[in-house]
Structure 1
Amino acid sequence: MSDKNEIVADDAVLVKVEGLSKKFCKDLKTSLWYGLKDLVSGISGSNEDRLLRPKEFWAVKDISFELRRGECLGLIGHNGAGKSTLLKILNGLINPDAGKVTMKGRIGALIELGAGFNPILSGRENIYNNGAILGFSRKEIDNKLEAIIAFAELEDFIDMPVQHYSSGMKVRLGFAVAAQMEPDVLIIDEVLAVGDLGFILKCFKTIDTILPNTAIIFVSHSMPMISRICSQIILMEHGCAQFQGEDVGKAIDLYYRRFADNESNVVFTDHSIQLEEVELLNTAGGSEELPQLNWGDNLLVSFKFKSINYDEIPTFNISIYDKEQRPVALLHANTLDTDINKKNNSISFIIEHKKLQLSKGIYSLNISVTKKNSSEPILRVNSILVFQIIHKDEIWPSFLLETNYIKTI
């Protein structure tokens, strides 16, 4: 239950979630039958002791948290983890089967494309409708109207029916209304991923501005976005909180580890050369699946190939990709045949890069093998090795470069 017109103190808890749970049924007919049985038997949806029946599953299970003004909670997890279901409960779109939600003040939500808009009304009319729902008078909306239209960059289309808007236009209008109305609680799902880069940057500048006076719940698959604005985090898995707390970096590491494996992903091969073994030599800990290096350690990787019907020593191009699978570095290719050990049908070598200054996080190596005197491909394999850089600082630039500060006179 929420009171959208209540004036709340700056230090008050704006969002309080207690033991929230929601179950769904995998089969429509069975779901309708269960609903009918519950209606006839008078079972309320708040009985926390109810067990799962056949074909039912917990979309959200026993989630609790508190959020005050100036705090931002990040909800992360893979598809199907329960994030969107939780947001719909918080926004009042669906009722929980157990638990309680208390929200105070004005509440703005941006959880689905076009959600809260009447498609046959114009953008201008929808602004007034949404403002009225938030509890603003027509005069207050009049005062904010031009700022909303300008922020959404829809001056030429504001009187066009929303049903004719593109997905990007709907996002711009939805965020402009949600943010410019300065709600006490702002709920944002992944819809910002639809906008162009310029608008996304403008959205985050606005979030920075309103955050001191707002409690924000933010869902995204973009970990840089989560790291940038969130002070608390919940990592969800199968509806449950796998990790919860203020250590945003730890939750992000757990999120990425699900992708860390050593299985080869062969993109191309002409079958003349085969990668047999790749190994990180000077590990600082971790596991076989995710070896670790300390920031500043030397990168030493051993390679072994089986040369099936290839006599020349080819060129080996090894690239480093970050946790967002963006290429961040290319290691210099081999130039001298003496650097490579070729014996019978085996090719082996070790690469070394001194004082690796990649920032904290998870990285992977890709390799591309080409003919020596041309760029003709022989073999390309992605994610041949996944490793983790350990450092006390959580930053998002890919490199943390060693720097000397020189005192000036």
Structure 2
Amino acid sequence: MNNKTNIPKDTESKNEVLVRVQGLSKKFCKDFKTSLWYGVKDLANGMLGRGYETGLRPKEFWAVKDVSFELRRGECLGLIGHNGAGKSTLLKLLNGLIYPDGGQIDITGRVGALIELGAGFNPILSGRENIYNNGAVLGFSRQEIDDRLEDIIAFAELEEFIDMPVQHYSSGMKVRLGFAVAAQMEPDVLIIDEVLAVGDLGFVLKCFKRIDTILPKTAIVFVSHSMPMVSRICNEVILLEDGKVRFQGTEVAKGIDLYYTRFSNNETNVVFNDGTIELESVFIEGERNENSEIASVNWNSDLKINFKFKLKRKVKSFPFFKVIIFDKEQRPVGVLTENDENFDFTLDNDIIRFSVFHQNLQLSKGVYSINILVSEGKIRAPLLRQNDIAKFQIIHELDIWPPFLLSAKFISR
């Protein structure tokens, strides 16, 4: 079994390879007792010089399988993928918290890591004492930490609380302290895992400004579910799926688009149905690739959704249909105006067909889902509420946080 090797720092060359990963693999067992038994067997085999079993045994699975990449000074690698894809496992392998079952990791210089909220902090020690502990772990002398101490405290905005035990810190305070230590110490390799999602927007923007400052001198491995963040700082991306590399390259936008298409699971969720009406089909017009049924719609183009419903029993008045748009984090971002009571539906053998049309759609890049609400009468008595009936993807070159990218013109004055 090959494990992590730290190579002494010897050069400040811009093109210096700081992280080299070759054929990295890690497997886990789904059953705790079986895992203990395998551990005993592996330990015995190691003591007897027989080596470890490299293949999968019953109840085992690959959390990371055959991952390879190089990262140079001045580069930022984005690791993206859905929950369970293997991102956190890969980061723990890079940071030496767990050992690989195959492959090799070579890291040059000092490594700073923010892989879990509060990781590396002693909860009973104060923030100040934890700064000295973390700095020592990174390999800095007490004098070097002293020189950076005030900058770290100021960056973390914890002047009033720096001598309070960390166990009493909020999650946002822990993030600020952890990032301040890692960034102000300027390690050769900085590993960041999702923790910036906990901080407030002002601190996140300050973190990005700091990353811009230190990036020419370091190499960064950045994990996030926020694609605007990935697009903002990464010049290379790896998309993991079930522990394997699905996409790897410098075309960050292409990797993000592939990440978004993983939301194309069309399982429906009926929240309420009184038996009056039933959704038969829904189809969003747009381009589709062979690997996904999700529709791609260009920004500022038209959105057209075709519906087919079946009436299960007679209604006193014709229903009202309301289309609600949610983003990938299931936050409502818009609703399309419903039909009026005089709309002439196509009705054939209790089958209702109609299309909903919206011009110049200006949602920002990403994946959105459609919910439908069917009601009747002046009080809009609900007949059917069904979530996640279809998804579509907005195509644009920019990744931004807000849900809308509104067209605008600039006029000189």
Both structures adopt the same fold (TM-score exceeding 0.5): yes
2:134 alignment partner in structure 1: 130
- CA positional deviation for 1:48: 9.1
Correspondent of 2:44 among 40, 47, 52: 40
2:320 alignment partner in structure 1: 315
1:196 alignment partner in structure 2: 200
Q: CA RMSD in A?
A: 2.9
Identical-pair percentage: 64
Give, in whole Å, the separation in 2 of the partners of 1:10 and 1:246. Answer: 18
Q: Structure 1 residues 6 and 217 mapped into 2: Cα distance closer, same or farther (>3 Å)?
A: same
2:367 matches 1:362: yes
The answer to whether the Cα contact below 8 Å between 1:45 and 1:97 also exists between their aligned partners in 2 is no
Give, in whole Å, the separation in 2 of the partners of 1:154 and 1:45. Answer: 52
Cα displacement string for residues 288-336 of structure 1 (whole angstroms, at most 9, x for unaligned residues): 8323344554333222323324221233221333344443332222235
The answer to whether the Cα contact below 8 Å between 2:365 and 2:398 also exists between their aligned partners in 1 is yes
The answer to whether the Cα contact below 8 Å between 1:77 and 1:236 also exists between their aligned partners in 2 is yes
Structure 2, unaligned runs of 5 or more:
none
1:184 alignment partner in structure 2: 188
Give, in whole Å, the separation in 2 of the partners of 1:148 and 1:63. Answer: 35
Q: Structure 1 residues 86 and 143 mapped into 2: Cα distance closer, same or farther (>3 Å)?
A: same
- CA positional deviation for 1:47: 6.8
SS at match of 2:343: helix
Please report the TM-score for the alignment, with normalisation by the length of structure 1: 0.88
Map residues 335-346 of structure 1 onto 2, 5 A cutoff. Answer: 335-341=340-346, 345-346=350-351
2:399 matches 1:395: yes
Please report the TM-score for the alignment, with normalisation by the length of structure 2: 0.87
1:79 alignment partner in structure 2: 83
Q: Match of 2:225, as an amino acid?
A: H
Instruction: Count residues in correspondence.
Output: 406
Give, in whole Å, the separation in 1 of the partners of 2:381 and 2:205. Answer: 40
The answer to whether the Cα contact below 8 Å between 2:21 and 2:106 also exists between their aligned partners in 1 is yes
1:14 alignment partner in structure 2: 18
2:378 alignment partner in structure 1: 373
Q: Structure 1 residues 15 and 162 mapped into 2: Cα distance closer, same or farther (>3 Å)?
A: same
Cα displacement string for residues 77-126 of structure 1 (whole angstroms, at most 9, x for unaligned residues): 22222211111111111222222111112211111122212222211011
Q: Match of 1:111, as an amino acid?
A: I
The answer to whether the Cα contact below 8 Å between 1:189 and 1:220 also exists between their aligned partners in 2 is yes
Cα displacement string for residues 208-243 of structure 1 (whole angstroms, at most 9, x for unaligned residues): 222222211011222222222111111112221121
2:118 matches 1:114: yes
SS at match of 1:42: helix
The answer to whether the Cα contact below 8 Å between 1:358 and 1:389 also exists between their aligned partners in 2 is yes
The answer to whether the Cα contact below 8 Å between 1:359 and 1:389 also exists between their aligned partners in 2 is yes
1:62 alignment partner in structure 2: 66
Cα displacement string for residues 315-372 of structure 1 (whole angstroms, at most 9, x for unaligned residues): 3221333344443332222235134345674443222223444455433222222334
2:254 matches 1:250: yes
SS at match of 2:264: coil
Q: Match of 1:8, as an amino acid?
A: E
SS at match of 2:180: helix
Give, in whole Å, the separation in 1 of the partners of 2:301 and 2:50. Answer: 55
2:337 alignment partner in structure 1: 332
Give, in whole Å, the separation in 1 of the partners of 2:68 and 2:156. Answer: 34
Cα displacement string for residues 145-194 of structure 1 (whole angstroms, at most 9, x for unaligned residues): 11211222222221122223232222221111011111121001122222
The answer to whether the Cα contact below 8 Å between 2:54 and 2:102 also exists between their aligned partners in 1 is no
Q: Match of 1:202, as an amino acid?
A: K
Correspondent of 1:150 among 151, 154, 163: 154
Q: Match of 1:213, as an amino acid?
A: K
